[in-house]
C-alpha cells in the first residue's frame, strides 16, 4: 500500500519549498472550491465589478473585486483595476503601490504603465507621464485612450491633433481641451462655444461627473477624482506572495516499483499521462489564467488500476502579457472604456461662469457657478455664488408657521411625472390654488418642458435632491452634490432658484441641515403627511388632511399618484368653506414665525 504523504504530497511539498513556489496566503486551503473548477471566472467577476462601477454603485463594485481577488490573489489585471479605482478617489499613494506591484510582475503591463502615467500627471510631471503613456501604447494599450492621455500631458501646447477614430468620450475630452485652452488664451467666443457644446454632450449635461480620472486643467493639480471609496481592503498584492510562473516541472520524488503510469490533472481536467521514469511533466503555467489552481497526481499500475492520488493548490502568478482568452479581452476592453481621461465638468462650468461674469451676464454667471457646484461644491465655488445671492437663510428648518391667519401650504413631493403632473396642474389651476413642488433633479433633466409648465402655472419649485437618496447616509460632499445638482437643474429649466429643501423620506439630521444652510436652503418638513391616506384613496386623503389642518400648516402630498389629484377638489373646497387660503411656502413664511420643531402628528391621524 502506497503512503500518500510519502509518495505524492511530501514530494510536492518538498518541490514547492525548494523552489519557493508555495504561496504564503493563509486562505489557500479554504479556497479549494474557488479554483478554476468554479462556474464564474475571476475575470468575469472583475467585469461585473467594472459594470457596477459604471452604474455608480461603488460599494458593490469593490465587493465584487474583493471576490475576484480571493479567487485570484495578486493578479496583475485585478491590481490594475483596483489601482485605477483608488486613483479615482485621489488615493494616489495606494494607486502607486498597486500599479507598482503589477509592473513588478510584468514591466510591459500596458494598463499599469498607463496608471503610472496618470500618477505622474497628477503630480504635474508631464514629461514622465508622456513617457509612460508612450510605453503603454507600445505595449499594446488602447491607442485612442492613450493618444488622448498624451494630448492632455502636452496641454495646452497642442490641441489641434486628435485620435483617428475617437469614441464619444474621447471627443468630449478633446473638445474640453480646446475650450479650456481658448479660455486661457482669452478667446472668449471660441471658448464659450466649445465649452457649451461640451456640456450638452456630457451625461446629465455635466451635472454629474463620471467615475473616471478627471482633467481639471489646473496647473497645480491637473488630475482629480470624485469617487468616494469604502475603506481600502488588504489585497494580496500588498504581500510578498510567492507562486509559480512560466514552465515548471512536476514529478513525484519517490515512485513504488509497481507504478507504471503517472497522470497529471489541472483543475480536474486531464493534462498528461506519463509512462516513463522519472514520470516528470513540464507544465507551462502560461496556458492557464493567473490565480489558484488544483494540481493532482494519480499513480496507476500496469493494469490501469489507481494506486494512489494526491492534490495540491498552487498559485500561478504570470505577468499581464501572459493572459489570453475572451474573458481577459472583455475585461481589458471594459477597463479602457471605464478609466480613460474625462473632462471635469466642474472646471468647465466654472470657466463658463467666469466668462459670463466678465461679460456682465449675472444670471448666466450664477447658473454656471451653480452648475460647477453640482460636481465640485468647494469653498471657492461657494464664494463665487455668494457674490450673486445670499447663502445664509434666516430659518434653518421649518415644520409649520405660527400664525392666526387661516393659510396653509400644499406641497407635492417627487416628479415631475408625465401624466400625473399635468393633471395636478390642471386641477390646481381650476381651483385657483398655488402650491409648492419639491422636484427630483434627475426628473427635471429628463422632463424640462414639464418642469417649465409647473413654473409657468405660478407654482413654486423646491429641492427634493437629485436622485432621491437617504441624505443622512451620504458624505457631506455627496449631500452638497445632490442639492446643488438639483438647484442647477431647476434654474436651468425655469429660471427659478429654489429656496427650500425637503430631504427624501424626511431623513434629516444636523449634518444635512448644516450643509443645506451653507448653500442657501431652508429645510422644509411638514405638519400633515398624507402619504398613507394617498395610498388608500382620494376620499381618505382629503378627509385625513381636512381633519388635521390648522392655520400655518404645511401639507405633504405627492406628485405621482392620481389619487392625490382626485382628492384635491374635495379637500380644497372643504377648506375654502372653512375660510382657508392656499399659498406657496415662500408666502407662508412671510405670514408668521417658523415652527422649527416637529408638530407631533403621526401618519393617519
pLDDT at 349: 98
**Does residue 327 or residue 179 have the better pLDDT?**
179
pLDDT at 567: 87
Give the ranges where 399-498 is alpha helix by DSSP (H). 420-431, 441-446, 448-456, 476-494
- How far apart, in whole angstroms, are the C-alpha atoms of residue 605 and residue 562? 22
Average pLDDT, the chain: 87
**Per-residue pLDDT for 270 more than 70?**
yes
**Per-residue pLDDT for 409 more than 90?**
yes
472 by Cβ neighbours in 10 Å (0-12 / 13-18 / 19+) ranks as: middle
pLDDT at 518: 96
Q: Mean pLDDT over residues 382-403, rounded?
A: 91
**Per-residue pLDDT for 76 more than 90?**
no
For helices 345-358 and 362-375, angle between their N-to-C axes, nearest 10 degrees: 160
pLDDT at 158: 67
Q: Mean pLDDT over residues 584-588, rounded?
A: 97
**Per-residue pLDDT for 420 more than 70?**
yes
- How far apart, in whole angstroms, are the C-alpha atoms of residue 534 and residue 531? 5
**Per-residue pLDDT for 599 more than 80?**
no
Using pLDDT thresholds of 50, 70 and 90, give the confidence band for residue 25: very low
> Tens digits of per-residue pLDDT, 81-113?
999 999 999 999 999 999 999 998 888 999 999
**Per-residue pLDDT for 16 more than 60?**
no
Contacts of 542 by beta carbon, 8 Å cutoff, 6+ apart: 567, 568, 570, 571, 574
pLDDT at 37: 40
Number of other residues whose CB lies within 10 A of the CB of residue 404? 9
**Per-residue pLDDT for 257 more than 60?**
yes
pLDDT at 241: 53
Of 559, 502, 558, nearest to 525 by C-alpha is 502
Using pLDDT thresholds of 50, 70 and 90, give the confidence band for residue 600: low
pLDDT at 378: 93
**Does residue 8 or residue 127 have the better pLDDT?**
127
Active site residues per annotation: 413, 558
From 302-306, 330-334, 527-531, 538-542, the region with the lowest mean pLDDT: 538-542
> Tens digits of per-residue pLDDT, 462-515?
999 999 999 999 999 999 999 999 999 999 999 999 999 999 999 999 999 999
Decide: 139 and 351 in contact? Cβ < 8 Å.
no
- How far apart, in whole angstroms, are the C-alpha atoms of residue 208 and residue 547? 43
**215 membership: H or E segment, kind and range:** strand 214-215
pTM, full prediction: 0.81
Q: Which residue segments constitute the domains of the chain, with CATH numbers given? A: 39-155+324-340 (1.25.40.10), 247-316 (2.60.40.10), 400-602 (3.20.20.370)
> Tens digits of per-residue pLDDT, 193-236?
999 999 999 989 999 999 999 999 998 899 999 999 887 666 65
3-state secondary structure of 360: coil
pLDDT at 19: 33
- How far apart, in whole angstroms, are the C-alpha atoms of residue 312 and residue 297? 9
- How far apart, in whole angstroms, are the C-alpha atoms of residue 130 and residue 142? 15
pLDDT at 489: 98
> Tens digits of per-residue pLDDT, 490-499?
999 999 999 9
pLDDT at 160: 67
Using pLDDT thresholds of 50, 70 and 90, give the confidence band for residue 538: low
pLDDT at 320: 60
Three-state SS annotation for 127-180 = HHHHHHHHHHHHCCCCHHHHHHHHHHHCCCCCCCCCCCCCCHHHHHHHHHHHHH
- How far apart, in whole angstroms, are the C-alpha atoms of residue 333 and residue 430? 56
Q: What is the DSSP letter of 267?
A: T
**Per-residue pLDDT for 308 more than 80?**
yes
Decide: 24 and 74 in contact? Cβ < 8 Å.
no
Using pLDDT thresholds of 50, 70 and 90, give the confidence band for residue 13: very low
pLDDT at 45: 93
**Per-residue pLDDT for 8 more than 80?**
no
State what percent of residues in the chain have pLDDT above 90.
65
Query: Which residue has 450643509 as its cell numbers?
Result: 515
261-266/247-250 β-pairing = unpaired
Using pLDDT thresholds of 50, 70 and 90, give the confidence band for residue 162: low
Three-state SS annotation for 31-99 = HHHHCCCCCCCHHHHHHHHHHHHHHCCHHHHHHHHHHHHHHCCCCHHHHHHHHHHHHCCCCHHHHHHHH
> Tens digits of per-residue pLDDT, 135-148?
999 999 999 999 99
Give the ranges where 309-440 is alpha helix by DSSP (H). 326-339, 345-358, 362-375, 379-386, 420-431
pLDDT at 539: 74
pLDDT at 27: 32
pLDDT at 535: 60
Amino acid at each position: 500500500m502506497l503512503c500518500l504523504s510519502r509518495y505524492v504530497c511530501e514530494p510536492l511539498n518538498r518541490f514547492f519549498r525548494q523552489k519557493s513556489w508555495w504561496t504564503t496566503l493563509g486562505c489557500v486551503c479554504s479556497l479549494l472550491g474557488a479554483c478554476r473548477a468554479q462556474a464564474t471566472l475571476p475575470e468575469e467577476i472583475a467585469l461585473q465589478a467594472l459594470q457596477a462601477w459604471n452604474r455608480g454603485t461603488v460599494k458593490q463594485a469593490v465587493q465584487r473585486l474583493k471576490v475576484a481577488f480571493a479567487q485570484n490573489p495578486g493578479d496583475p489585471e485585478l491590481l490594475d483595476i483596483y489601482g485605477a479605482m483608488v486613483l479615482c478617489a485621489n488615493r494616489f499613494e495606494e494607486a502607486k503601490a498597486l500599479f507598482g506591484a503589477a509592473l513588478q510582475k510584468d514591466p510591459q503591463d500596458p494598463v499599469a504603465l498607463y496608471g503610472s502615467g496618470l500618477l505622474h500627471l497628477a503630480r504635474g510631471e508631464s514629461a514622465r507621464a508622456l513617457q509612460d503613456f508612450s510605453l503603454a501604447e507600445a505595449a499594446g494599450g488602447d491607442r485612442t485612450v492613450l493618444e488622448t492621455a498624451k494630448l492632455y500631458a502636452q496641454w495646452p501646447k497642442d490641441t489641434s491633433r486628435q485620435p483617428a477614430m475617437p469614441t464619444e468620450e474621447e471627443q468630449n475630452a478633446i473638445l474640453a481641451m480646446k475650450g479650456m485652452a481658448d479660455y486661457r488664451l482669452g478667446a472668449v467666443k471660441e471658448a464659450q462655444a466649445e465649452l457649451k457644446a461640451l456640456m450638452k454632450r456630457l451625461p446629465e449635461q455635466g451635472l454629474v461627473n463620471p467615475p473616471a480620472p478627471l482633467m481639471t486643467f489646473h496647473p497645480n493639480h491637473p488630475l482629480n477624482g470624485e469617487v468616494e471609496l469604502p475603506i481600502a481592503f488588504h489585497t494580496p498584492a500588498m504581500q510578498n506572495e510567492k507562486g509559480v510562473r512560466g514552465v515548471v516541472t512536476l514529478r513525484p520524488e519517490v515512485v513504488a516499483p509497481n507504478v507504471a503510469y503517472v497522470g497529471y490533472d489541472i483543475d480536474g481536467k486531464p493534462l498528461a499521462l506519463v509512462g516513463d521514469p522519472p514520470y516528470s511533466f513540464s507544465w507551462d503555467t502560461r496556458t492557464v489564467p493567473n490565480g489558484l489552481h488544483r494540481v493532482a497526481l494519480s499513480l496507476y499500475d500496469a493494469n490501469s488500476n489507481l494506486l494512489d492520488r494526491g492534490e495540491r493548490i498552487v498559485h500561478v502568478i504570470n505577468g499581464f502579457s501572459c493572459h489570453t482568452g475572451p474573458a481577459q479581452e472583455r475585461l481589458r476592453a471594459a477597463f479602457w472604456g471605464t478609466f480613460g481621461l474625462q473632462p471635469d465638468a466642474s472646471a468647465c462650468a466654472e470657466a463658463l461662469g467666469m466668462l459670463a461674469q466678465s461679460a456682465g451676464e449675472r444670471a448666466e454667471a450664477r447658473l454656471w457657478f451653480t452648475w460647477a457646484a453640482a460636481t465640485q461644491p468647494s469653498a471657492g465655488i461657494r464664494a463665487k455664488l455668494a457674490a450673486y445671492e445670499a447663502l445664509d437663510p434666516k430659518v434653518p428648518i421649518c415644520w409649520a408657521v405660527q400664525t392666526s391667519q387661516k393659510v396653509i401650504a400644499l406641497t407635492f413631493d417627487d416628479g415631475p411625472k408625465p401624466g400625473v403632473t399635468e393633471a395636478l396642474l390642471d386641477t390646481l389651476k381650476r381651483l385657483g390654488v398655488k402650491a409648492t413642488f419639491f422636484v427630483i433633479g434627475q426628473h427635471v433633466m429628463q422632463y424640462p418642458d414639464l418642469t417649465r409648465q409647473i413654473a409657468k402655472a405660478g407654482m413654486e419649485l423646491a429641492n427634493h435632491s437629485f436622485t432621491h437618496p437617504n441624505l443622512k447616509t451620504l458624505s457631506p460632499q455627496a449631500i452638497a452634490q445632490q442639492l446643488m445638482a438639483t438647484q442647477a437643474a431647476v434654474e436651468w429649466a425655469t429660471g427659478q432658484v429654489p429656496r427650500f429643501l425637503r430631504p427624501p423620506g424626511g431623513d434629516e439630521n444636523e449634518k444635512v441641515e448644516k450643509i443645506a444652510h451653507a448653500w442657501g436652503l431652508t429645510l422644509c418638513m411638514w405638519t400633515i403627511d398624507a402619504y398613507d391616506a394617498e395610498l388608500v384613496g382620494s376620499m381618505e386623503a382629503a378627509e385625513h388632511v381636512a381633519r388635521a389642518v390648522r392655520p400655518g400648516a404645511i401639507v405633504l402630498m405627492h406628485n405621482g399618484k392620481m389619487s392625490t389629484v382626485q382628492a384635491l377638489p374635495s379637500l380644497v373646497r372643504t377648506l375654502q368653506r372653512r375660510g382657508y387660503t392656499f399659498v406657496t411656502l415662500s408666502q407662508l413664511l412671510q405670514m408668521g414665525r417658523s415652527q422649527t420643531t416637529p408638530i407631533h402628528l403621526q401618519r393617519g391621524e
